[in-house]
Chains A and B, each alone.
Chain A
Amino acid sequence: MSAQAVAGIVRAGGMRQRVLRVLLFAVLCLFCLYYLAPLFVMITTSLKPLAEIRSGSLISLPKQVTFDAWGKAWSTACVGVRCNGLKPYVLNSVMMVVPAVLISTFLGAINGYALTKWRFRGADTIFAMMLFGAFIPFQVVLLPMARVLGVLGLAGSVYGLILVHTVYGLAFTTLFFRNFFIGVSDGIIRAAMIDGAGFFGIFFRIVVPMAPPAIVVTVIWQFTQIWNDFLFGIAFTVGDSNPVTVALNNVVNTSTGVKEYNVDMAAAIIAAIPTLLIYLVAGRYFVRGLAAGAVKG
């Protein structure tokens, strides 16, 4: 933020500077168009009837707005051979994402707290070893995970996905909370210890009430990651238990019948709405998560 205080390096004033300034805005706006164009095309396409898509232009506004495609994408579009729309799969995603986010966030919080505030011997090594899980390409765990889920009787179920996302989210959630708790003064913890508070007492009565910023960042990060996941979804679930990303991919690639681009676009927007909303409401925390989740300890 401090650079804001110092004048930007291109200063206003003078004819030449003003031209530069206009140019600057022109370029920035051009890029805004670049990033917004696909979203614009998706929304307008989803509101057009199919005939207008065929005859009309990619970037024109719909002449007659219809929500038919949205209704179809929600409740009757065909995902593979079943034609119940995206609704059941959105429910699957919700049933998967809520417990997975809550459990992995809770475990990450208590793990980060134990590793920073009760610095027992080997705590740093344990953290470094657990962090490694955040870097691996998940292809390297797909095969054994499929077998373990089979043994546990969780293959092809939403519960299996909850387990998978909890396990592999733990590295990130621990990282977020560890980075946060490192900044919390040890004095408070020590004072509480002298007052006779124990491990859990300090955690629930002192540490958790201080941690809402870290909790928000972690929950948003985990929610976005898990909701948007495709690899685990397609590898470990079948048909009825698919999360919405897999279902969306199946809707788009269902080759039977007429290709309904408006339904595809409506389905894509439905799958995107939860994470987009979170981004718009809590973008600041989302960006903080991106910066922290960026591959660094």
Chain B
Amino acid sequence: MVQPMKRRPTTVDRFLDRWLPQIVVSPLFAMSLFFVYGFIVWTVYISFTRSSVLPSYALDGLSQYVRLWATPRWYVALTNLFIFSSLFIICCTAIGILLAILLDQRIRIEGAIRTIYLYPMALSFIVTGTAWKWILNPGLGIEHLMQQLGYENFHFDWLVNPDMAIYTIVIAGVWQSSGYAMALFLAGLRSVDDEVLKAAAIDGAGPIRTYVSIILPMMRPVFMSTFIILAHLAIKSFDLVMALTGGGPGYATDMPATFMYSFAFQRSELGTAAASAVMMLVTILAIIVPYLYSELREKNR
């Protein structure tokens, strides 16, 4: 028998050889079990209790959910989430695909342009929010600028107008994330097989037809994953709202994430906060699980 080690392996050595990978992974896995799964279980449990300032562990059925769904502010948050995420996803996708197609036309300075389109992704949403808060400032921002340019009657008070404030968050969100969508689509365009393009050219398909009826349909998986990423960003959006409007005026721009934060850390209604967090988790799972499932099935095929 070949004996690679100089000293005779002890039982401890042999044990370590066999089990070291598991020994290294298990504390990390345990960490994940505790901090992710354990915490989710705790939050779900709390959402079924009467906890308010302090957690109480006596089960109280669905009362927190009943309360949550009877809270007008929760409906405001849901409506805002719906408005924000649909506009955010539509605008980012439209701008992203447009820019990706334009950039795919053998542009010499493509690298520089791409760097410019994507840099907002390196910024914190708080920085983005601060910048747009200033630009959209009624009085000194865009409104003032347009009036100086001669449009005396131009008014733009969306930031402080409860009916319109949610759209300012869309404006800033799209500015920050549309370059990201562009990058995802561009990678998708680059992975389209050259042979397909050549065949289309031989068949005499023009550039617009080639894109609309050949390339874009081939990119369905890219559209799918971009949608998932943007939806994920939208549901989690918290920072941008806090920086731009702080959820206001009043709670006009509340979203589930800010609702949860406010109920948990400002109003100390732990049960309701937990219930809203569980609703967020369920929403994300409803989007992600079918996607991952279909991805895995495709890979196994």
| A291 contacts B by Cβ under 8 Å | yes
Contacts A28-B107, A143-B270, A198-B16 given; does A235 touch B261 at CB 8 Å: yes
**Are A295's CB and B225's CB within 8 A?**
yes
Question: Which A residues lie within 8 Å of B29 (CB)?
Answer: 126, 129-130
Contact of B126 among A4, A200, A248 (CB under 8 A): A248
**Chain A proximity of B117: nearest CB distance (Å):** 6
Question: Which A residues lie within 8 Å of B126 (CB)?
Answer: 228, 230, 245, 248-249, 268, 271
Question: Which B residues lie within 8 Å of A265 (CB)?
Answer: 130-131, 134
Complex-state Cα separation, A224 to B203, whole angstroms: 47
Closest B residue to A23 by CB, please name it: B102
Interface residues of A, Cβ cutoff 8 Å to B: 1-10, 24-25, 27-28, 31-32, 34-36, 38-39, 41-42, 45, 53-54, 57-59, 107, 110-111, 114-115, 118, 120, 123, 126, 129-130, 132-133, 135-145, 147, 167-168, 170-171, 174, 194-196, 198-200, 224, 227-228, 230-231, 234-235, 245, 248-249, 252-253, 261, 264-265, 267-269, 271-272, 275-276, 278-280, 283, 286-287, 290-291, 294-297
| CB-defined A-B contacts under 8 Å, sample of 25 | A6-B194, A8-B104, A24-B102, A34-B175, A35-B117, A38-B128, A42-B131, A54-B140, A59-B145, A111-B25, A137-B257, A137-B284, A139-B257, A139-B276, A141-B39, A167-B32, A170-B28, A171-B32, A198-B16, A199-B24, A228-B125, A230-B125, A230-B242, A249-B130, A279-B121
Contact of A115 among B25, B141, B211 (CB under 8 A): B25
Closest A residue to B51 by CB, please name it: A143
**Are A272's CB and B277's CB within 8 A?**
no
**Chain B proximity of A87: nearest CB distance (Å):** 17
Question: Which B residues lie within 8 Å of A224 (CB)?
Answer: 122
**Are B134's CB and A272's CB within 8 A?**
no
Question: Which A residues lie within 8 Å of B133 (CB)?
Answer: 252
